[in-house]
Amino acid sequence: MRKEISILENVTIDQLQLKNRTVVAPMTRVSTNGDGIPTEQMATYYRRYAEGGFGLIITEGTYTDRTFSQAYPNQPGITNDKQLEGWRNIVSATHAVGGKIILQLMHGGALSQHLSNTRGPSAIQPQRKMLEGYSAKQGVFPLPQAMNSAEIDELIADFTASALRAEKAGFNGVEIHAANGYLLDQFITDYTNVREDQYGGSIENRCRLSAEIITAIKSAVADDFIVGIRVSQGKVNDFDYTWPNGIDDGKIIFTSLKNAGANYIHFASEGKGFDHGCLTKNGESLPKLARELTGLPVIANGGLDNSNEAKRILKGNHADLVALGTGALANPDWPNRLKNHIPISPFNADMFALGVTVEHQFKWEEKANRA
């Protein structure tokens, strides 16, 4: 029997010691000046979460190469020394106040709102339309070209080079973004991947690329550098998708990620709460399965700024840590509030009425504080 754990109790991910179980979920903020170099304002933004008591911060999705990975204009990258130095400044600012920070590595694939010439596992038209607020480009996504095997090899090498840059910048680790409908999730998903090579067909084959990326990174970085992975059922362009074979898919995916060398599994729920995104269509908990099957630390997500809901998830053995998205935007000091019994503010979507950048957020906060 596992003893009841508290949100504010410490925890370790492999050798990384965290002061509590609260995590800032990765959130794209498109706040660079077009060059992908993280700014001073972004350092203020990230440092604030560490000051607010979060045990771990996962950064926004960061692009990994200069060809096909960038998803949004003004998204940060980690593809050259200048971008690395921008991130180093953010890492230093965060570490200086006792925070721990992991860089999310992201390839947009067929959901890029930045490129006209996109790549995906297969030449299949993405569902629905581009997200509003993240790019001037709107409407339907372009038809992607299927990646060839040389491009896949290059992709793995680029993820690895990016992880090495992240290590050099001082990050505590990287998280591979294989969730929410972006490239690696496009490989995992049955209807976006109709390849006939070793990366398509069975679910074992469809999660092979994510597994190979983890293994390649783990063999390149120091032993204590964390390599986690984020997966989900739902997608930004298909919120209600569930893994077609539920628990059976989960067993194969989680085992493959563990065997590849992942240090943690992060299960995301895009926008509609834990139960909506994290349970199979038969109501079984996928994060709980990941915990039981792999023994790895599991981060759960989805409406967990409601502390009763967060407690239910930890108590029910669904996860070891809870990641907050919109709740962290509204309460950058959520853990300190919990500790000091200060009420939590609800997320107000007006924060992004004029745009989703950090600058827009800070201006909105200034106005809200004056009112």
Ligand X SMILES: Cc1cc2nc3c(=O)[nH]c(=O)nc-3n(C[C@H](O)[C@H](O)[C@H](O)COP(=O)(O)O)c2cc1C
CB 288 within 8 A of CB 316: yes
Q: Is 27 in the site for ligand X (CB under 6 A)?
A: yes
Judged by CB under 6 A, the stretch of 139-147, 173-181, 244-252, 311-319 that binds ligand X is 173-181
CB 23 to ligand X: min, Å = 10
**Ramachandran region, residue 106 (left: φ > 0; alpha: ψ -120 to 50; beta: rest):** beta
Ranges assigned E (strand) in 137-238: 145-146, 173-180, 226-235
Q: Is 230 in the site for ligand X (CB under 6 A)?
A: yes
Q: Is 326 in the site for ligand X (CB under 6 A)?
A: yes
CB 271 within 8 A of CB 349: no
Q: Out of 101, 179, 253, 279, point to the residue binding ligand X (CB under 6 A).
A: 179
How far is CA 28 from its chain centroid?
9
Question: Residue 304 corresponds to which tokens in the numbers above?
Answer: 């967990």
CB closer to ligand X, 25 vs 152: 25
Please report, as residue ranges, which positions from 50 to 69 form the binding site for ligand X (by CB under 6 A). 60-61
User: What number of other Cβ atoms are within 10 A of residue 315's Cβ?
Assistant: 12
Q: Is 324 in the site for ligand X (CB under 6 A)?
A: yes
Active-site annotation holder among 182, 199, 241, 264: 182
Sketch the per residue contact string, 241 through 270, with ligand X: x for CB under 6 A, - otherwise: ---------------------------xxx
- For residue 23, the cross-strand partners are 56, 323
> Cα separation of 48 and 53, whole Å?
9
Sketch the per residue contact string, 94 through 113, with ligand X: x for CB under 6 A, - otherwise: ----------x---------
> Cα separation of 95 and 214, whole Å?
25
CB closer to ligand X, 38 vs 200: 38
Q: Please report the sign of the dihedral spanned by the C-alpha atoms of residue 360, residue 361, residue 364, residue 370.
A: negative
Picking from 41, 156, 60, the residue whose alpha carbon sits closest to that of residue 101 is: 60
CB 252 within 8 A of CB 285: no
182 catalytic residue (yes or no): yes
The single-letter code of the amino acid at 115 is: L
CB closer to ligand X, 178 vs 200: 178
Q: Is 165 in the site for ligand X (CB under 6 A)?
A: no
Question: Residue 356 corresponds to which tokens in the numbers above?
Answer: 């989703």
Q: Out of 13, 227, 356, 358, point to the residue binding ligand X (CB under 6 A).
A: 356
CB closer to ligand X, 26 vs 246: 26
Q: Is 271 in the site for ligand X (CB under 6 A)?
A: yes
Judged by CB under 6 A, the stretch of 43-51, 177-185, 196-204, 335-343 that binds ligand X is 177-185
Sketch the per residue contact string, 114 through 153, with ligand X: x for CB under 6 A, - otherwise: ----------------------------------------
- Tokens 């000051």 correspond to 51
Judged by CB under 6 A, the stretch of 85-93, 256-264, 297-305, 309-317 that binds ligand X is 297-305
The single-letter code of the amino acid at 128 is: R
CB 370 to ligand X: min, Å = 24
- What lies within 8 Å, CB to CB, of 81 at 6+ separation is none
Cα dist from 330 to 52, 80, 97, 337, 351, whole Å: 12, 32, 20, 12, 9
Residue 265: its H or E element? strand 264-268
Judged by CB under 6 A, the stretch of 47-55, 77-85, 205-213, 325-333 that binds ligand X is 325-333
Task: Show which residues are catalytic.
Answer: 182
The residues of the shown chain that bind ligand X, judged by CB under 6 A, are 25-28, 60-61, 104, 177, 179-180, 230, 268-271, 301-305, 324-327, 356
